[in-house]
Amino acid sequence: QVQLKESGPGLVQPSQTLSLTCTVSGFSLTSNSVHWVRQPPGKGLEWVGAIWSGGSTDYNSALKSRLSISRDTSKSQVFLKMNSLQTEDTAIYFCTGYGLDYWGQGVMVTVSS
């Protein structure tokens, strides 16, 4: 049974760094990709980036300069780090597995002082 769970701080101050963790079960990170998608309150979905089975990454070009995705395969965890956060980064952040087939419940991140 494929499961994904996001975790991280609910509140981040402007200009600070966001760190999120996606813990997966039911599949191997070395065989499948994990993506991050975000959704501002009341708005649509935006693809953030991905880490592929081989460990390479791809990022949304609009976020690339601030974004880093990595993983720890021994712990079945994927990490998202985004720096220089602004209020526009306030959103629910989802991780997805098997590409974009399975989604976690999401974690709400608010950027505010």
Partner 1 sequence: DVLMTQTPVSLPVSLGGQVSISCRSSQSLVHSDGNTYLHWYLQKPGQSPQLLIYRVSNRFSGVPDRFSGSGSGTDFTLKISRVEPEDLGVYYCLQSTHFPNTFGAGTKLELK
* Interacting residues with partner 1 (CB under 8 A): 35, 37, 44-47, 58-61, 94, 99-106
Q: Nearer to partner 1 by C-beta: 27 or 94?
A: 94
Residue found under tokens 């956060």: 85
In whole angstroms, the minimum distance from the beta carbon of 67 to partner 1 comes to 12
Q: How far is the CB of 11 from partner 1 (least distance, A)?
A: 21
Nearest to 49 by CA among 73, 27, 72, 78: 78
Closer to partner 1 at the Cβ: 79 or 103?
103
Q: How far is the CB of 88 from partner 1 (least distance, A)?
A: 17
Mention every residue, 6+ apart, whose C-beta is less than 8 A from residue 95.
4, 6, 20, 22, 24, 34, 35, 36, 37, 78, 80, 103, 104
